[in-house]
């Protein structure tokens, strides 16, 4: 019988209805009572770390959660995290970087409807999370709608549907279907590593979504505000304006001043390639780092994590460019399998 730790942090799954709307109010033991039938094959211990709407979950909570997981990881076969869906993908990615080499499965899940609701998706999501936590596949994952997604690849793509999360540019790590719980052999799992806690995150970053007419002066203003890193969501496969309002030159000046600039695409799927068009190649010449197939959540949290760990900007640049956990690149032929 696998020994699983369930850490509750709040979110919709743990929410109750009130005149002011849904708010977290169910404790870990309340959740266990409601999924009692699912836990019959496991030995589940619960604890409550905090009770928050995930919109209020900040890097300080990521650090606290990573610390707790690190402290308790070797006492259990796997860990399930109950978390709100709005920032769940950010937390999953942040934990992936903070807990590299984690020896057990750490699985985040939540729901679109409170577990108090008879039609809630919470039960199925908890079922998937428990089975992944007991799988013996180490790493950080998201369990939702019978799909298991790598922590650095998850993104919330729907606000109401039970099928709220997708694996962006990467195959599912596992699925639950008529064949049972099926782990995807195409997804590499790292075994035999020793976890090292690295849970410092820098919040001096900014996310900039380009739009026609945006002023290049934004980079000078960001620099004056003390921003150390910027993630730029460019157009299409990799395009930025270089005429009239010359964002490319402004980025180059920011990079030369010591700012880390990572560029990706506003498009959710298929990644970016700044070598395709002239406007993309021009920004590459400015010393930017390309995000490739990274999700926005993955790029943001990796930038925050790298700046939190290292003071040497050259080291930060190298770490961001290195594929640490499958977050860079795409596996498009396998996606959807």
- Residues in a beta bridge with 294: none
268, 88, 105: which is closest to 164 by C-alpha?
Answer: 88
Task: Tell me how many degrees the CA angle 33-35-37 measures, rounded to the nearest 5.
Answer: 105
Residue 217: CB atoms within 10 A of its CB come to 10
Contact 227, 202 (CB under 8 A): no
Cα-Cα-Cα-Cα dihedral of 72, 76, 78, 80, to 10°? -60
Catalytic residue from among 12, 87, 296, 301:
12
Computed from CA positions of residues 230, 236, 241, 242, in that sequence, does the dihedral angle turn out positive or negative?
Answer: positive
Report the alpha-carbon distance of residue 165 to residue 143 in Å, rounded: 9
Task: Tell me how many degrees the CA angle 158-123-165 measures, rounded to the nearest 5.
Answer: 20
96's enclosing H/E stretch is: helix 88-98
Report the alpha-carbon distance of residue 177 to residue 60 in Å, rounded: 37
Q: Is residue 12 annotated as part of the catalytic site, yes or no?
A: yes
Give the pair of three-digit tokens for residue 316: 């930060």
Which residues are catalytic, by number? Answer: 12
């Amino acid at each position: 019988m696998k020994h699983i730790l369930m850490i509750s942090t709040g979110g919709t799954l743990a929410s109750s209805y009130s005149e002011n709307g849904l708010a977290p109010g169910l404790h870990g033991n309340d959740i266990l009572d409601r999924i009692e039938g699912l836990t019959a094959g496991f030995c589940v211990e619960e604890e409550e770390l905090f009770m928050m709407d995930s919109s209020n979950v900040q890097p300080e909570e990521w650090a606290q959660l990573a610390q707790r997981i690190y402290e308790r990881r070797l006492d259990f076969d796997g860990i399930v995290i109950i978390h709100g869906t709005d920032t769940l993908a950010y937390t999953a990615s942040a934990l992936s970087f903070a807990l590299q080499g984690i020896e057990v499965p750490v699985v985040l899940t939540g729901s679109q409807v409170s577990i108090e609701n008879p039609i809630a998706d919470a039960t199925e999501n908890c079922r998937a999370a428990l089975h992944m936590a007991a799988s013996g596949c180490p790493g950080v994952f998201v369990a939702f709608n019978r799909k298991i997604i790598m922590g650095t690849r998850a993104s919330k793509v729907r606000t109401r549907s039970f099928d709220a999360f997708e694996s962006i540019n990467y195959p599912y790590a596992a699925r639950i279907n008529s064949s049972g719980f099926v782990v995807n052999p195409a997804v590499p799992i790292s075994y035999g590593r020793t976890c090292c806690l690295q849970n410092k995150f820098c919040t001096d970053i900014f996310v900039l979504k380009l739009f026609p007419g945006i002023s290049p002066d934004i980079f000078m203003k960001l620099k004056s505000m003390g921003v150390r890193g910027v993630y730029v969501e460019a157009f299409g496969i990799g395009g930025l304006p270089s005429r009239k309002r010359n964002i490319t030159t402004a980025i180059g000046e920011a990079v030369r001043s010591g700012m880390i600039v990572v560029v990706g695409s506003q498009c959710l799927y298929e990644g970016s390639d700044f070598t395709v068009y002239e406007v993309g190649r021009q920004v590459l010449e400015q010393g930017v780092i390309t995000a490739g197939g990274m999700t926005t959540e993955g790029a943001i949290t990796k930038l925050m994590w790298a700046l939190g760990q290292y003071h040497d900007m050259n080291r930060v640049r190298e770490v961001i460019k290195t594929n640490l956990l499958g977050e860079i690149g795409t596996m498009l032929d396998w996606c959807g399998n």
